[in-house]
Amino acid sequence: MDNTSKNRNKKEDEGLYNIPLPLPKNSSLLKQNVKEVPGNAATGTVSSVMCLLSIKATGHNYVRKMMRRYNSTVFRMNFFGTRITVCDDEGMQSLFTEHLVKKEPRFGSLVVNRKVYRGLIPFEYTNGYDHDQKRDFMVDYLHCVKKDWDTQYLLLTVDEEFRTIGDRLLQNDDFEDVLSNAMCNIISRSLLGCCLDYSQVRIWFQHVLVPVFKLDKWDSKPGVDATEHLAKEIEESPIGIMLMSKGKKHEFSKNEILMELLAMVLFNAHRSNSGAVISAMIYLQQLTEEQLNLLKTEATKLLNGKCSINSLVHIENFLMEILRLHPPAKSIFGIATQNFTMESQCGFFSVKEGELLCGDLYWTLRNPKVFVDPDTFVFDRFTKMPELKKYMCAFGGNYYDNIKSFHKCIGQHFSMTLLKMCICHLMFCEYEPSCEPKWTGRKITRIPASDKPFTVHTFEYRRETSGPRGARAPVDINEFLVETEVETFDYESEDGSM
Ligand code: HEM
């Protein structure tokens, strides 16, 4: 797998591995160096449709073509309006700077179907006071459940759900759907203390985010009914009841709490983590015996209670490389709130108030100036160069950014913990893929690391467990119910990550 060390040494010798120094911050020099963003500034429908068709045909590769055409990691593209697309992490910082950029109430060409979302919009698409209040509330809640994931609860839940996959596969040969069902159970049990009805979850996903041009004619009834069903499940769950009571003190309505929980558990947590587990399964198949042994040794120690989740060095670095090559969230969107100068790897660019922006996480994580042989999977990339972790923007922003920074993912710690545990359990699973997965970069909306759905003939979980069965509902919620000051929390975990 790691067949790139020769090239890497060569590139290191040539200095290509060095990240370029930032341009001088002296203001007169800055003014002299500011450039117009290159690219297509046309706003017409024809230009937009052409761009859409090219993206449909070539996916991520279209963005790479544009980067090459303009010889720049920052350029304009007409994708439902002219957008400044940013493909390097220096430029990306602007998208996470609160006074420069705000969120649009949509996700590129997709909008939240407010009928399904009961007239609201998830806080991640809002700005200012409303966003900050709800975000703080959820961060506060996640912090309280955190200590439970770090202990036995999550381990037992993953164990129990992974054991059911083989049987479910006998009734449903769509493996991605079966895995997604198991992940939905794990996540809803961990975050809500109840198992959401997966048949309704499927329907909810089909209706909650819809293409902007189809919204008017969309038949939302099935989505509205699914919301009804799922909201009732959360409302009746022990955690739902307590969260609504806590929310009342913050003047959030019952509806707001229910919808935010639905969005967080399903929209944010479920899809991305399910996709990442499938990517991990695909790459596990390609590892050498030696690499597998490194992972299995760590997994055995964790599952036998002999080490903590923070000491899984090889598993964490393997996961990092997967999230780098296949970030579950590929892009982030925003709108400039003032004229400003964007500092990027390719120079200073002038951005005008009101301009639309798109941070391309996929290409930022494949930036050759930061990651040598960026398209190649390198098992020990992050083991050899742990400092590269700070360029891991798969969760938005910098990996080590404080959790309270503007719009950065609040589920990074949960996901890293959950995914590491899933990889530990996968070390004891045997599965036979039906065909060899292939990734060409053409499928811009696919989360897992294969163009086509990943399918397996069989899936067997072979670990003997001696520990207790029947995972209990998480968290001693009393701590959360006590009025807590969000500001006083220290979100750093033992190893410095969130
Ligand atoms: C592998 C898993 C995950 C990945 C790759 C991921 C990635 C991201 C990214 C890139 C953003 C920024 C989006 C933007 O600015 O448009 C984000 C935001 C967010 N994520 Fe995650 N996420 C993951 C899992 C989770 C989980 C497990 C939760 C909840 C438990 C979560 C909750 C959120 C929320 C609420 C936001 C919005 C934050 C805000 O706007 O203030 N995510 N995530």
User: What confidence score (pLDDT) does residue 151 get?
Assistant: 61
Mean pLDDT to the nearest integer, 429-448: 94
User: What confidence score (pLDDT) does residue 90 get?
Assistant: 92
Q: How far, in Å, from the CA of 83 to the mean position of ligand 1? A: 22
Q: How far, in Å, from the CA of 123 to the mean position of ligand 1? A: 11
Mean pLDDT to the nearest integer, 374-392: 96
Q: Which residues contact 21 (CB under 8 A, 6 or more apart)?
A: none
Pairing of strands 429-433, 101-102: unpaired
Q: Is the CB of 276 under 6 A from ligand 1?
A: yes
CB atoms within 10 A of CB 327: 25
Q: Which amino acid would we find at residue 16? A: L
3-state secondary structure of 204: helix
Separation in Å, CA 200 to CA 89, 115, 184, 197, 455: 38, 16, 11, 6, 23
Given a cut of 50, is residue 6 above it in pLDDT? no
Given a cut of 60, is residue 248 above it in pLDDT? yes
- For 52, the enclosing helix (H) or strand (E) is helix 45-58
CA–CA separation, 114 and 382 (whole Å):
42
Find out whether 396 and 135 touch, Cβ atoms under 8 Å: no
User: What confidence score (pLDDT) does residue 401 get?
Assistant: 76
User: With pLDDT > 90 as the criterion, what percentage of the chain qualifies?
Assistant: 64
**Class of domain 5-15+34-488 as given by CATH:** mainly alpha
Q: Is the CB of 331 under 6 A from ligand 1?
A: no
- For 343, the enclosing helix (H) or strand (E) is strand 340-344
Q: Is the CB of 159 under 6 A from ligand 1?
A: no
Q: Is the CB of 415 under 6 A from ligand 1?
A: yes
Q: pLDDT tens across 201-243, in order?
A: 999 999 999 998 899 999 999 999 999 999 999 999 878 888 8
Residue 100: which pLDDT band, with cuts at 50, 70 and 90?
very high
User: What confidence score (pLDDT) does residue 46 get?
Assistant: 78
Given a cut of 50, is residue 149 above it in pLDDT? yes
17 or 453, which is more confident?
453
Q: Which residues contact 382 (CB under 8 A, 6 or more apart)?
A: 316, 317, 320, 321, 388, 389
Q: How far, in Å, from the CA of 361 to the mean position of ligand 1? A: 13
User: What confidence score (pLDDT) does residue 24 get?
Assistant: 47
CA–CA separation, 491 and 498 (whole Å):
6
User: What confidence score (pLDDT) does residue 245 get?
Assistant: 85
Conformational region of residue 475, where left means phi above 0, alpha means psi within -120 to 50, and beta covers everything else: left
Q: Is the CB of 145 under 6 A from ligand 1?
A: no
Q: Is the CB of 96 under 6 A from ligand 1?
A: no
Q: How far, in Å, from the CA of 293 to the mean position of ligand 1? A: 32
Nearest to 79 by CA among 358, 344, 352: 358
Tokens of 488: 């006083």
Chain mean position to CA 267: 10
CA–CA separation, 12 and 6 (whole Å):
10
Given a cut of 90, is residue 32 above it in pLDDT? no
User: With pLDDT > 70 as the criterion, what percentage of the chain qualifies?
Assistant: 84
Nearest to 187 by CA among 470, 409, 414, 395: 414
191 or 23, which is more confident?
191
Find out whether 432 and 457 touch, Cβ atoms under 8 Å: yes
DSSP state of 315: H
Nearest to 364 by CA among 406, 392, 340: 392
Q: How far, in Å, from the CA of 412 to the mean position of ligand 1? A: 7
- The phi, psi pair for 267, rounded to 5°, reads -65, -45
Q: How far, in Å, from the CA of 392 to the mean position of ligand 1? A: 14
Which of the listed residues 270, 409, 415, 420 should we mutate to test ligand 1's pocket, taking the one with most ligand atoms within 8 A of CB? Answer: 409
Q: Is the CB of 268 under 6 A from ligand 1?
A: yes
3-state secondary structure of 3: coil
> Nearest residue CA, atom 20 of ligand 1?
409
Which of the listed residues 142, 268, 363 should we mutate to test ligand 1's pocket, taking the one with most ligand atoms within 8 A of CB? Answer: 268
Find out whether 300 and 366 touch, Cβ atoms under 8 Å: no
Given a cut of 50, is residue 397 above it in pLDDT? yes
Q: Which residues contact 158 (CB under 8 A, 6 or more apart)?
A: 186, 418, 421, 422, 425
Q: DSSP characters for 61-111?
A: HHHHHHHHHHTSSEEEEESSSEEEEE-SHHHHHHHT-TTTEE--SEETTEE
